[in-house]
Amino acid sequence: MSLFTNPQLFQRAIEGESEALGELLEKYRPFLRLLAERRLDHRVKNRVDASDVIQLTFLDVQRDLKQFQGKQEPELIGWIKKILENNLNQMVRRHVATQKRSAMKENRLDNSTASGRVMRNQLPGEFSSPSQRVMRGEAALRLAKELDKLPTSQHHALRLRYLEGYSLAEIAQAMEKSQLAVAGLLKRGLQNLRKQFSEI
């Protein structure tokens, strides 16, 4: 089943129908949360809440929708993603750069890191053809939706391991758990994801 909406709903949304746009944005919320959580690592989350950044992004989308020039839903998702990234960049500059952290500590927030490359490969808006964009975009939306159904600790552990590229020891430290406990979360999380995908 496609996670993209029907063309009529998409058309109504980009024509400015607030109810249709609201329905689309709520559908994208798990995907956008995944993006925001990736950028806002555990050091930044003490000062910035991903939900606040997403809500700010939704307000920006509603305000600036007339500037959107695309004709297809993957283009809208890419446009919203850019707005989210801009808001995240502003938050990071405000809450991290002003703390005069070292370049090494800032490195996790940079898209040039291995974890940034892993996550970037999962997202729409970075691909070579429209068909690839649609397929990869649907996969990313589906992954975000299914991750969002997991218990919080499993979701967090899987995100850190497979989207951020953290080691088991780093996850254990970030989550303040033993490595054995983290391994258990990862195992159960993967089992639950497989089960959820098999039921789609």
Question: Which CATH number goes with the domain that contains 47?
Answer: 1.10.1740.10
172 within some domain:
no
Residue 193 lies in a domain: no
Confidence of residue 200 (pLDDT cuts 50, 70, 90): low
Tell me whether residue 65 is in a domain.
Answer: yes
Phi, psi of 167 (to 5 degrees): -80, 170
Q: What is the pLDDT of residues 10-52, one digit of tens each?
A: 889 998 888 888 888 888 888 898 888 887 766 566 677 788 8
Asked if residue 124 is part of any domain, the answer here is no
Distances (CA, A) of 26 to 32, 110, 115: 10, 27, 27
119 or 149, which is more confident: 149
Q: Which domain holds residue 26?
A: 7-112
Place 81 in a pLDDT band, splitting at 50, 70 and 90.
very high
In a domain, 102, yes or no: yes
Number of domains in the chain: 1
- Please give the share of the chain, as a percent, with pLDDT higher than 90: 8
pTM listed for this prediction:
0.56
How do residues 101-146 score in pLDDT, each as one tens digit? Answer: 443 344 444 444 444 444 444 444 444 444 454 445 567 777 788 8
* Inside any domain, residue 94: yes
